[in-house]
Structure 1
Amino acid sequence: MNTVKHIRMKTRKMIVAGICLCLAQYSYSQERMGVTHSGHITGQPPFPVEYYSELPNPAATDNETWRGVSGVSVNWGSKYVRYAKESKAKLPKDITGKLKGWKGEKVSAQLVIASAVDLENVSVEITAPLHVSGKYEISSDCILKGFVRYVMTDELNHHKAGTCGDRPDASRYDSTLVADPIDHLALSLPVAAKTSQGYWVGIRIPRDALAGTYKSDVTLKNGTEVIGRLKLELQVLNHTLPAPAQWAFHLDLWQNPFAVARYYGVQPWSKEHFALLKKELKPYADAGGKVVTASIIHQPWNAQTYDPFETMVTWMKRVDGTWMYDYTVFDRWVEFMRSMGVTRAIGCYSMIPWRLSFQYYDQATNSLKELHAKPGEQVYRDFWLGMLKDFAAHLKSKGWFDITHIAMDERPMKDMQEALSIIREADADFKVSLAGALHDELSDELDDYCVALRMKYSESLKRKRRSEGKITTYYTCCEESYPNTYTFSNPAEAEWLGWYAAKENLDGYLRWALNSWTIEPLLDSRFYSWGAGDTYLLYPGGRTSMRFENLLSGIQAYEKIRILKQEWERNGDVKKLAKLERILRNFDEHQLKDIPADRVVEQANLFINTL
């Protein structure tokens, strides 16, 4: 969630107008070349899916790191490092990569190719992990593998405090290529001379796997020539994670189906659109996503994203002045997401949009109209009260009322109280969620409460909410320098987020943008309002990212901690509980500027995976 106070609308309109002009200038080239948010001509057809070329690297080759290097070296690196493309990666000598995990857990590693010579067609082969007893093999279908591609990024604000504020001039910020997208669609890639190239290996351990050590062979080729051989050992511990749909962690990453329709050029809500959404949103479901993001008015966040959220509910004022509401799109969207396994909650945005303007279809004039109204005005009350009563009846008919939340993000206290009074009048049992500032006086009204990382719930408030079965989470946005999930952030910061939720005894984490893509998200993650990568964690083509995979690792750590704590409390194992608390105390955001997240996370994993 990013607060509107950081957006100067006049400047934004100028930026959007400039981008539209730039796009118009190149509209003739839609079949020839694309253009990014910064006006960078991509040199290839717009909106690539399976194959694409990265933007040129603005950084010069770091010749000093390549001095005296010849040929190709390959080895295991760290999943927390974005290896610079232009530099010779510093790698260990041990050719055996080692992973540990629970049954049901997804574990990841990164290998790196550093080549002093041009390689035309690099590919990686991995044998199915085989138990040392020979009695169990993990299917190759359980392996996610792909090149770690490079995307354009920028940096923190010049005063190093977050990234909030308009960024109309990309040249004011240091723009570099960084490793982030995991490209499982590219079966092979060229690697230029004096280039380092990462490759991701993720293994989802079956829940019925045999505990013990598994071994796998990794072969790297340039065409038919073998350029490297590595070993991979996986130790499966005798603990089991439940299936992601049963994870307790409350993951709420706002989905943007409209970005998918725009990128692929398909009609929203068509058969083709839903087929694409199934591929693009599968990683969210596989990570235990709990909340369906539904927009029940036109553009609840105004122009916060390149692809605005349109309404999933059609509001129509009849000739006689009465209202009719069509929920066809809303129903299809919710049913689709539930079929994907996202079934815990539906977040409906928003009674208090950033721009207090509400679009509807006016039957009398056969046109779209806008109502400008604000909380506290009678016209606002009448507009929402009738809809919410009708909406409640519809949700009950679908069996969704108990999981649906009338959702808001931070607005003035008086406005939120006015909205709450209308909600309660419409149906006293409506659930309400808020992502915003901490207001103790609002807690009793909120079934799902999410506050910024820097705001701390009192222990008594957390206990009270948990005893009442309410959800209590936190979010990060453009205000945080560390931790965050920018494309220039330390990838371990994404994993840190799950550990922090465990430390604070919170139910989970919210991020305002799962896939609100930039114009060319595979090539350029920079945006005109916030730091690069702030608007999305997933890439087109069903691609995940270093950030998303590490976020998943943190969620799994949260689940492991929850399970172990229950076991230790049941058995009265105070020593292990005390050790865990000491480990969790290290997850302090104020230390991240001086103590990198990877160091904190690696130490914590060392403890949790020795049990």
Structure 2
Amino acid sequence: MNKIFTLILMLLAITGSAQFIEPNDPKSNLADQSGWGKLGKGIYFRFVDSDFSLSKHNVPNIKDINRTWHTSAWKGETINTQLAVWSKNPEYANSILSLSFTELKSAKNIISNNNIKFNPIAYVISDDPSQLKSACGINVILDSTLVADRIMNTQTIAFNSKEVRPLWLSIKIPNNAEPGLYSGHVIASIKLATYTMNIKIPYSIRVSDFQLPKSADWDFHLDLWQNPYSSARYYNLETFSDEHLEKIKPSMQRLANAGQKNITTTLIYDPWNSQTFDKYDAMIQWIKKKDGSWQYDYTLFDKWVEYMHSIGVHDYINCYSMIPWNLSFYYFDEATNKREIIKAKPEEQVYENHWYPFLKNFAAHLKKKKWFHKTTIAMDERPMKDMQAAIRIIKKADPEFQISLAGYYHPELSDDIIDYSIPFYDSMSEDILQSRKAKGYKTTAYTCCTEIYPNTFTSSGYYEPVYLAVNTLQRGFDGYLRWAYDCWNKKPLEDTRFGSWAAGDTYLVYPENETSIRFERLQEGIQTVEKIKVLRKKLAKQGKSQELQKLENEIQKFGNKNINRNLIPTQVKSLKNLVNSL
């Protein structure tokens, strides 16, 4: 690929945005020039099927575009769609595209502009792992590609001829909206040297009388791991300083609004053996006194937990990890006046000697803070014998300690793990699942670099996150886990690749609280699950068995076995249409 990134936008002083840098298209020389040649003159501004990614240098497929958009929504729901602007006229080169919209009106009611967002989508560098069996530890050079994913926080962007500029329209239906058909327009303004061209296209939303619960009340158990060390490095701020926490508040609030249930905390330094651009540090300071006793400083841990509680994330506090990938444990030794390291396996006595006094002290601290009942000692993808050894020590320190695990399904561990997330393609026996439900335990599925599809890579189909969310319902699970919400790389706004993982594996949102199509579609999937739960109760109460069975038949298509990737877009559309029609 061409590694030189070109600056394509002037300073957006009127919006307060920084300069926008978009990477060169490594495949621009492969663009179908015949498509541009057949295109008529003028500017094209159209709605585009939001299940499919646009190419920057190829004319959109005619079957995927429309002059208008008609959809349905529930009160309290957020709906999204994609649009695009393109032209072959040289006179539009280096012009400025500005976006705006009207309020939505029905016969007597209005959905105000405050509920509508219309933003450009930026292209980022991705790769193509589709021919691999796994996207973990990739040791080959993957084909680099440009994909539309990053939804910018501006309404103004550069526009060039023979380029397709994707756009994202998002509407939050107010909880108190009156049912009815609402209509409005989106407007694209192209500023040229001597005049401005305004193009507007209509759309409509039929708001039903159904009410989606508020996100704080969603039952879906979402667990996207946070990395505050990454954002502190990116913004060059002291980790957990007031400035840092204020800076990331909008992004954390976005996470909470998506129904996030878990707070990611770290007990030790580098629990994942430097698998991210920014190492996770310890939120608890381990200090060995000169007399051999231990002191534990919980200042940072408490500040992070209290901060996330204030944001609205408070169901679980997951504490990683008693079994780090490198089995190395760091502490400050007052006798040597420097940081020391212990290497120990869970089966060794030195391991228990290190962890047991901490766990006793930690339990007492959590009880004092009234957090003990929601805290878990968390582990991920570790050998079963190591986990069993660690669990023995945990329960010895306090039998009421709770444990969470993201890893393969082990029936032997099920009774000990209250928050258990297993890989997407793994299975849990029905009797164990029902036993866990009866105890109030949470069972979720996760994807990471292992699953080529469905997934949330930047190369993944836009519809795949919806499939992942609905799959948890099909299996009777409680929700979904993804290991990284915001583990940014060196240039996260431009290139989503990092290390030997598939592009986009390490983060779902961008700096400066810019969201992604992947994250927005995941939230759509979660909303779909919540809508289905409402419909199940209503249809059962009304005795509409045929409608209920039709819904259940549609849900059963979202399994984790024998998936036909080509059918996923059709399945997602079919389920969405059915849910909105019942």
TM-score range with shorter-chain normalisation? over 0.9
Report what 1:370 is aligned to: 341
Verify the 8 A CA contact 2:484 2:506 in the aligned structure 1: yes
How does the TM-score come out when normalised to structure 1?
0.90
Q: 1:434 aligns with which of 405, 411, 416?
A: 405
What secondary structure does 2:533 align onto? helix
- 1:559-605 per-residue CA deviation (whole Å, 9 max, x = no partner) reads 01111112233344321221112101211345544424221100100
Cα shift at 1:68: 2.7
TM-score for the superposition, normalised by structure 2: 0.94
Aligned to 1:343: 314
Counterparts of 1:245-264 in structure 2, within 5 Å, are 245-264=216-235
Match of 2:14 in 1: none
Instruction: Provide the secondary structure at the position in 2 that maps to 1:134.
Output: coil
Cα distance in structure 1, aligned partners of 2:476 and 2:311? 28
Select which of 43, 51, 54 maps to 1:83.
Answer: 54
Q: Is the 8 A contact 1:50 1:541 kept in 2?
A: no
User: Which residue in 1 is equivalent to 2:103?
Assistant: 128
| 157 and 216 in structure 1: CA distance in 2 versus 1, 3 angstrom threshold | closer
CA displacement at 1:393 relative to structure 2: 0.9
Give the 3 Å change call, closer, same or farther, for CA 427–368 of structure 1 in structure 2.
same
Which residue does the alignment assign to 1:551? 522
Name the residue aligned to 1:573: 544
Deviates more, 1:445-454 or 1:592-601: 592-601
Q: Distance in 2 between matches of 1:41 and 1:345?
A: 44
Matched, 1:146 2:119: yes
TM-fit CA distance, 1:101: 1.2
* 1:585 aligned partner, one-letter code: Q
Can you list the C-alpha shifts for 1:299-353, whole angstroms capped at 9, x where unaligned? 1101111111000000000010000000000011011111111111111000000
Report deviation, 1:44. Answer: 6.6
* 2:73 aligned with 1:105: no
Q: Is the 8 A contact 2:455 2:465 kept in 1?
A: yes
Q: Is the 8 A contact 1:220 1:227 kept in 2?
A: yes
SS for the counterpart of 1:206 is coil
| Residue 192, structure 1, aligned to residue 168, structure 2 | no
User: CA contact under 8 A between 1:483 and 1:589: conserved in structure 2?
Assistant: no
Give the conservation status (yes or no) of the 8 Å contact 2:2–2:26.
no
RMSD: 1.8
Q: Which residue of 2 is the match for residue 95 of structure 1?
A: 67
CA shift at 1:428, angstroms?
1.0
**CA distance in 2: counterparts of 1:162 and 1:145, whole angstroms:** 36
Structure 2: segments with no counterpart, 5+ residues: 12-16
Give me the whole-angstrom Cα distance separating, in 2, the residues matched to 1:449 and 1:581. 25
Among 147, 166, 177, which residue is 1:178 paired with?
147
CA contact (8 A) 2:75 2:174 kept: yes
1:195-594 aligned within 5 A:
195-223=163-191, 225-590=196-561, 592-594=563-565
Letter in 1 for 2:88: A
Q: Please give the alpha-carbon distance, in whole angstroms, between the structure 1 residues aligned to 2:202 and 2:472.
A: 34
Query: Taking structure 1 as reference, are residues 39 and 77 closer, same or farther at Cα in structure 2, changes over 3 Å only?
Result: closer
1:53 counterpart (21, 30, 51): 21
1:492: how far off?
A: 0.2
Distance in 2 between the 1:265 and 1:77 partners?
Answer: 38
Contact between 2:6 and 2:24, CA under 8 Å: does it hold in 1? no
Structure 2 distance, partners of 1:557, 1:41, is: 41
Residue 89 (structure 1) shift: 1.0
C-alpha separation in 2, matches of 1:370 and 1:43: 45
Match of 1:12 in 2: none
Question: What code does the residue aligned with 1:312 have?
Answer: M
Q: 1:258-281 deviations in whole A, cap 9, x for unaligned?
A: 110111111111121111120222
SS in structure 1 of the partner of residue 412 of structure 2: helix
Distance in 1, matches of 2:350 and 2:180, equals 66
Question: SS state of the match for residue 329, structure 1?
Answer: helix
Relative to structure 1, the CA distance from residue 482 to residue 393 in structure 2 (aligned partners, 3 Å threshold; closer, same or farther) is same
* Conserved 8 A contact 2:7-2:22: no
- What code does the residue aligned with 1:161 have? K
Distance in 2 (CA, whole Å) between partners of 1:543 and 1:314 is 33
Quote the Cα distance in structure 2 between the aligned partners of 1:228 and 1:441: 63
Q: For 2:299 and 2:118, how far apart are their aligned partners in 1? A: 38
Which residue does the alignment assign to 1:8? none
TM-aligned CA distance change 1:546 to 1:377, over 3 Å: same
Instruction: For 1:464 and 1:408, locate their aligned partners in 2 and report how far apart those are by CA, in whole Å.
Output: 22
C-alpha deviation, 1:505, in angstroms: 1.1
Give the % identical residues: 40
Cα distance in 2 between the residues matched to 1:418 and 1:551: 36
- Residue 9 (structure 1) aligns with: none
Query: How far apart, CA to CA, are the structure 2 residues paired with 1:165 and 1:567?
Result: 47
Secondary structure at 2:460 match in 1 = coil
2:33 is the alignment partner of 1:63: yes
Q: Which moved more, 1:267-276 or 1:501-510?
A: 267-276
Q: Deviations over 1:365-394 (max 9, x none)?
A: 111000111101111111111111111111
| Residues 144-195 of structure 1, C-alpha deviations (whole Å, 9 max, x = no match) | 321111000111164x31311144x6xx2111111000012x2211121111
Change (3 A) 1:39 1:343: farther
Question: Which stretch of structure 1 is more off in the superposition, 111-120 or 415-424?
Answer: 111-120
Structure 2 letter corresponding to 1:424: K
Q: Distance in 2 between matches of 1:219 and 1:44?
A: 26
Name the SS of the counterpart of 1:498 in structure 2. helix
Q: Unpaired segments of 5 or more residues in structure 1?
A: 1-37
Q: In the alignment, residue 170 of structure 2 is paired with which amino acid?
A: G
Distance 2:544 2:111 in 1: 34
Letter in 2 for 1:115: S
CA contact (8 A) 1:115 1:191 kept: no
Between the two proteins, the alignment pairs up a number of residues equal to 565
Q: Contact conserved, 1:482 with 1:592, CA < 8 A, in 2? A: no
CA contact (8 A) 2:118 2:155 kept: no
Higher relative contact order (CA closer than 8 Å, sequence separation 6+): 1
Structure 2 residue identity aligned to 1:96: T
Whole-Å separation in 2 of the counterparts to 1:119 and 1:564: 49
Provide the rounded CA distance (Å) in 1 between the counterparts of 2:133 and 2:484: 20
| Conserved? CA contact 2:104–2:111, under 8 Å | yes
Q: Do the aligned residues in 2 keep the contact of 1:219 with 1:226 (CA within 8 Å)?
A: no
Secondary structure of the structure 2 residue equivalent to 1:382: helix
Q: Matched residues in 1 for 2:430 and 2:111: separation?
A: 43
Measured after TM superposition, the shift of residue 463 of structure 1 is 1.2
Deviation at 1:426, TM superposition (A): 1.1
Task: Kindly provide the CA deviation profile for residues 499-539 of structure 1, in whole angstroms up to 9, marking residues without a partner as x.
Answer: 11111111000000111111101100111111000111001
SS of equivalent residue, structure 2 residue 390: helix
Structure 2 counterpart of 1:15: none
Any conservation in 2 of the 1:316–1:324 contact (CA below 8 Å)?
yes
Cα gap change, 1:413 to 1:591, in 2 (>3 Å): closer
Residues in 2 aligned to 1:142 and 1:289: alpha-carbon distance in whole angstroms: 22
